[in-house]
Structure 1
Amino acid sequence: MYNRNVVFLDPAHGGTDNGARLSGKLQEKDVTLAFEQRLRSLLQAKGLTVVSARDGDASMTSDQRADIANHSRPIACLLIHATSSGSGAYLATSSLQADPEPHSVLQWETAQATYVSQSLSLLEGLTSALASASFKPVTLQSSVPPIDSLTCPAVLIEFGPKSGTPVNDEGYQQQLADAITGALVAWRTTFDPPKPVVDPSADPSAPKAAPRPKIKPPVAAPAPPTPPGAPLRSVPSIAPIKPGGAR
Structure 2
Amino acid sequence: MEREEVLQDGAHRRVVRIGNTVRRPAQPWTPTTHALLAHLENVGFAHAPRPLGFDDEGREILTHIEGESGPAGWANVVPDDGLRAFARLLRAYHDACADFTPPPGATWPPGGAGPDTQGVVCHGDFGPWNIVWRDGQPVGIIDWDFARPGPRVHDVAYALEYVAPFRDDTECVRRLRYPVPPDRRRRLELFCTAYGLESTEGMVDAVIDRQRDTAAAVRQLAAQGHEPQATWVAAGFPAELDARAAWSNAHRHLFE
Q: TM-score, normalised by structure 1?
A: 0.26
Instruction: Choose between structure 1 and 2: higher helix proportion.
Output: 2
Larger relative CO (CA 8 A, sep 6+): 1 or 2? Answer: 1
